[in-house]
């Protein structure tokens, strides 16, 4: 599933091309993805200018609110979605469900499993949209630090790894990035969140930031169908030190990496290096 780094890489890939451009229209080839696609999206978007593209959690937000009747287009890539910029005359393939048409290019949403979402929020205050209102803190924001994490986890007996993946607490930290961040911080994914000290949370917050920034620099992680806007693939998974390395020697202590199931997901960790 595309997480924060993959979505951010897609956003950065679109920035040189779309802000300042007006939408000519839209082609919708399916009535719904995870949710119904807004009826009349083509007419609603035609003539609106994309002033900015921002990210909130795993949503890409296209700011088209400057004109009367404008608003924000919210796009979520789901489990297998990807965006590509293609020439106007490029034929659509089987899973190419939505095209946003610009004068010289097309932004094409491909989503084989159709778990993505394309939503519309009328008016300027996109943070009020129900899909965004309950999201937690951004882990790359100034407000995210060890002191915040320590305060937010008091009384939380849940193991720290699934808690980090809870988007109501922190957005965009998926399975790969939670596992790698905890290894960097030397914290066991099995440890109860309320039993981690403030100082160790400061280390963890720095590890999360460093892991996400490294993943963005590497173009994200290629898992199943993920690609970014130029059709290229990320390579962060090639540098993972615990994720998907069950039984292989830890890069620090050479003991075998273990795997357990937490919340239906595989958790990889080194029992010697992570306490």
Question: Using CA atoms, how far apart are residues 111 and 166, in angstroms rounded to an integer?
Answer: 24
For residue 267, give the H/E element and its range. strand 265-269
The total of other beta-carbon atoms located within 10 Å of residue 171's CB is: 23
- Pair 106, 99: CB distance under 8 Å: yes
Report yes or no: 98 and 117 within 8 Å, Cβ to Cβ.
Answer: no
**Interstrand relation of 59-64 and 52-56 (parallel, antiparallel or unpaired):** antiparallel
Nearest to 76 by CA among 117, 133, 26, 134: 117
Question: What gap in Å lies between CA 3 and CA 173, rounded to an integer?
Answer: 7
- 160, 192 in Cβ contact below 8 A? yes
Which residues are the active-site residues? 2-3, 58, 265
69, two tokens:
């009747």
The residues that bridge with 54 in the sheet, in sequence order, are 61
**Helix H or strand E encompassing 182:** helix 175-185
């Amino acid at each position: 599933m595309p997480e924060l780094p993959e979505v951010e890489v897609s956003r950065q890939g679109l920035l040189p091309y779309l802000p300042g451009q007006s939408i000519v229209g839209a082609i919708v080839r399916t009535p719904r993805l995870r949710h119904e696609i807004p009826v009349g999206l083509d007419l609603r978007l035609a003539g609106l200018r994309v002033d900015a593209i921002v990210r909130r959690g795993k949503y890409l937000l296209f700011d088209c609110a400057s004109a009367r009747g404008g608003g924000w287009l919210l796009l979520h890539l789901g489990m297998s979605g990807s965006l590509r910029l293609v020439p106007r005359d490029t034929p659509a393939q089987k899973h190419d469900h939505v095209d946003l048409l610009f004068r010289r290019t097309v932004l094409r949403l491909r989503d084989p499993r159709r778990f993505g979402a394309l939503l519309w929020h009328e008016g300027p205050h996109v943070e009020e949209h129900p899909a965004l209102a309950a999201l937690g803190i951004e882990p790359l924001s100034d407000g995210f630090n060890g002191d915040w994490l320590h305060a937010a986890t008091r009384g939380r007996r849940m193991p720290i790894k699934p808690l980090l993946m809870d988007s109501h607490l922190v957005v965009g930290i998926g399975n790969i990035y939670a596992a790698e961040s905890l290894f960097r911080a030397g914290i066991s994914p099995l440890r109860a969140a309320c039993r981690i000290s403030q100082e160790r949370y400061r280390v963890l917050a720095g590890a999360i930031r460093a892991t996400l920034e490294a993943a963005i620099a590497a173009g994200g992680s290629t898992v199943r169908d993920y690609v970014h806007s130029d059709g290229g693939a990320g390579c962060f998974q090639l540098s993972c030190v615990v994720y998907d390395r069950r039984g292989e020697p830890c890069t620090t202590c050479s003991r075998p990496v273990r795997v357990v199931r937490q919340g239906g997901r595989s958790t990889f960790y080194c029992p010697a290096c992570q306490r």
